[in-house]
Amino acid sequence: MVPSVKRPGTVKAIYLTRWSLFAALCVAGSFIPFPSPVGTIAFDSFPGYFAALYFGPLDGIVVCFIGHMVTSIVHGFPLGPWHFVIAVGMAAVGAATGIINKALSKPWGFIPATAAGAAINTALFITAIPVLGWLGSLLLVPFLAAASLLNGALAAAVYVAVRGKRLI
């Protein structure tokens, strides 16, 4: 039997492929809008939650950040340069979700991990204040919270279905 030989750069290629695939899924999810006063709330963070739960915090950070930036560009940067701040916040969502899930481990760690991610995501409503004002931003909170919880719940359901199985 021939031993497997690891080629230089293989690990980097796997990470880049994974991050690209999940960021592309973020863009695809952005075209499934969640009913809200603004059209930018959608199912775009589901792949980031999943990456954080399944692969860990680094993947969650990268997928959430890149996924939000690319999604913002595709949809015309409706909040302007504030999208960079939101992307950093989304990276925090990926980090918290991945770290909490790893720390609490199986079988139920994904529940508080997803809840923490959804709470951080919802708190990002403050980034809309310069554009929408306090009242407009506060009106987003229930929609943002519901969409974030649905994104997280969908990711958690898929995570539970595939955990323990080898993916990318």
pLDDT tens per residue across span 81-100: 889 999 999 999 999 999 99
- What's the whole-number mean pLDDT along residues 22-47? 90
Smallest CA-to-CA distance from 28 within 15, 13, 47 is with 47
What mean pLDDT is reported for the chain?
Answer: 90
Length of the chain: 168
Between 57-74 and 10-29, two packed helices, what is the crossing angle to 10 degrees? 50
- What's the whole-number mean pLDDT along residues 116-122? 97
Select the more confidently predicted residue: 36 or 155. Answer: 155
DSSP state of 30: T
Q: Which two tokens stand for residue 161?
A: 């279905």
Select the more confidently predicted residue: 74 or 166. Answer: 74
Query: Cβ(88)–Cβ(102) under 8 Å?
Result: no
- Sorted by where each begins, the domain ranges of the chain are 10-162
pLDDT tens per residue across span 35-50: 877 777 899 999 999 9
Tokens 């969650």 label which residue? 60
**Is the domain 10-162 a CATH 3.40.50.300 member?**
no
Checking if the pLDDT of 128 tops 90, the result is no
Which pLDDT score, from 0 to 100, does residue 1 have? 44
Checking if the pLDDT of 5 tops 60, the result is no
